[in-house]
């Protein structure tokens, strides 16, 4: 009997646990280690931050769902991984494994910018707890009559979609409240242009998102580093195409949300002390084309915590996003590769790493497709419309329902491609 342990139970770890248990069957054991007793649907956090959703709407308790599928759950922080002993330490508990899957998500590097984050002078939508706190501050902000807003991402960030989402969602909510005219919005990003998205642009994402910002009266600063976040302003450095500072700017702000750069969580980053081949300098897990560690062939990794190089060089560092569809392909590949190894075969399944993103904009939405993620691409496509807004609402319900019922294949591809007509595009 093999024991598969997965650290993390979010949009990568939980589907993996269901899928690997379904494929391996009763003869093998699956254990989930999670520092949160609940599953939270992270893509809905921007809605939580403006009060369009509550934590209860997008969360549920893990234990009864996993127990029904005969999957073990350990709630606690994995404080140490001992790859040479095939063990994970969770508090006082030692968990032995045959195969380990790292689906921890990232460490949020708020400390890399002075004053950034919930413990500083900005809010966050990176976790559901952060989004709930952001909502409380949003209500106070609106009740006080509003004021200037800064939204965007700092240097080294990699997931730009939620920043564009939140800017548009705030704009929509402020118009509903009748105070948009009192709330100038400024978008700040290290991207070389609006709509770069860490992907070198997707279709006409540049023109589409620039037009959206103009229509919503959102000003922007690109090629910008955030130097400091204070209670009433954000200090930034505008840079040229070589990354050299050309002007320092102070942008007034009464409500600030800037996505941080990501790093590997400490427990994973500490694997560098065992062997330098486990993680890169940022603490992200190094993997081969089978999502397998180059150091230990019984360790796999998926999701935001894997090391993926930037799609292209930019004047200011922009990381590469890991979208839900990309993560789903990683889940499927790892499940089948573990099956292969158990059966005495070599791993043979390679994930697609295609990028598909659905971004809600409050009253409309935008979808971006890059197949594959790294150019040249077979499909590069961007589309905006009410249909995308409705597709994301429907997908939220679809995914949460599947995670509650233990459906091992929520399938971003089958659902999203069908909703957006991308299968038709692929056939052309």
Active site residues: 159, 357
Between CA 48 and CA 119 the distance in angstroms is 19
Conformational region of residue 213, where left means phi above 0, alpha means psi within -120 to 50, and beta covers everything else: alpha
Q: Are 385 and 364 in contact (CB under 8 A)?
A: yes
2 by Cβ neighbours in 10 Å (0-12 / 13-18 / 19+) ranks as middle
∠ at Cα 95 (93, 100), nearest 5°?
A: 145
Q: How many CB atoms lie within 10 A of CB 3?
A: 16
Q: What is the edge-to-edge ordering of all strands in the sheet holding 72-75?
A: 72-75, 29-34, 3-7, 99-102, 299-301
Between CA 284 and CA 282 the distance in angstroms is 6
Report which of 368, 398, 375 is spatially closest to residue 165, judged by C-alpha positions.
368
Q: Give 247-285 as a DSSP string.
A: EEEEEE-SEEEEEPPEEE-HHHHGGGGT-TTSB-TTSPB
Between CA 202 and CA 181 the distance in angstroms is 32
Q: Are 387 and 368 in contact (CB under 8 A)?
A: no
Between CA 66 and CA 73 the distance in angstroms is 7
φ, ψ (nearest 5 deg) of residue 326: -65, -40
Structure-derived torsion over alpha carbons of residues 220, 383, 330, 288, reported in degrees to the nearest 10: -60
Report which of 370, 127, 170 is spatially closest to residue 262, judged by C-alpha positions.
127
**Whose structure tokens read 């009997």?**
1
């Amino acid at each position: 009997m093999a024991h598969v342990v997965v650290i993390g139970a979010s949009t990568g770890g939980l589907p993996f646990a269901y899928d690997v248990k379904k494929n391996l069957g009763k003869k093998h054991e699956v254990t989930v280690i999670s520092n949160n007793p609940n599953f939270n649907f992270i893509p809905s956090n921007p809605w939580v931050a403006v009060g369009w959703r509550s934590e209860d709407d997008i969360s549920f308790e893990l234990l009864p769902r996993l127990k029904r599928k005969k999957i073990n759950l350990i709630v606690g922080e994995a404080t140490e991984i001992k790859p040479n002993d095939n063990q994970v330490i969770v508090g006082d508990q030692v968990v032995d494994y045959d195969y380990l899957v790292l689906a921890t998500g990232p460490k949020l590097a708020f400390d890399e910018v002075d004053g950034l984050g919930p413990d500083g002078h900005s809010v966050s939508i990176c976790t559901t707890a952060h989004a709930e706190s952001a909502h409380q501050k949003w209500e106070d902000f609106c009740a006080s009559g509003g004021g200037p807003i800064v939204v965007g991402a700092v240097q080294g960030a990699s997931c730009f979609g939620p920043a564009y989402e939140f800017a548009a969602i705030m704009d929509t909510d402020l118009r509903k409240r009748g105070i948009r005219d009192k709330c100038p919005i400024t978008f700040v990003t290290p991207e070389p242009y609006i709509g770069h998205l860490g992907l070198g642009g997707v279709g006409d994402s540049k023109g589409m998102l620039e037009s959206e910002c103009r229509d919503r009266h959102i000003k922007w600063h690109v090629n910008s580093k955030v130097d400091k976040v204070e209670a009433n302003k954000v200090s930034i450095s505008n840079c040229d195409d070589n990354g050299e500072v050309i002007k320092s700017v102070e942008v007034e702000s009464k409500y600030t949300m800037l996505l941080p750069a990501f790093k590997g969580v400490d427990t994973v980053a500490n694997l560098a002390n065992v062997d330098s081949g486990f993680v890169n300098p940022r603490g992200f897990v190094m993997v081969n084309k089978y999502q397998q560690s180059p150091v230990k062939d019984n360790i796999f990794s998926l999701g935001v915590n894997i090391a993926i190089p930037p799609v292209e060089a930019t004047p200011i560092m922009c990381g590469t996003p890991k979208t839900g569809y990309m993560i789903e392909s990683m889940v499927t590949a790892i499940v089948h590769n573990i099956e292969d190894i158990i059966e005495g075969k070599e791993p043979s399944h390679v994930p697609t790493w295609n990028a598909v993103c659905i971004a809600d904009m409050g009253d409309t939405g935008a979808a971006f497709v890059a197949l594959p993620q790294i150019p040249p691409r077979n499909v590069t496509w961007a589309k905006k419309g009410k249909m995308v807004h409705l597709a994301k609402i429907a997908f939220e319900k679809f995914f949460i329902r599947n995670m509650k019922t233990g459906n091992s294949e929520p399938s971003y591809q089958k659902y999203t491609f069908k909703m957006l007509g991308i299968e038709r595009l692929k056939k052309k």
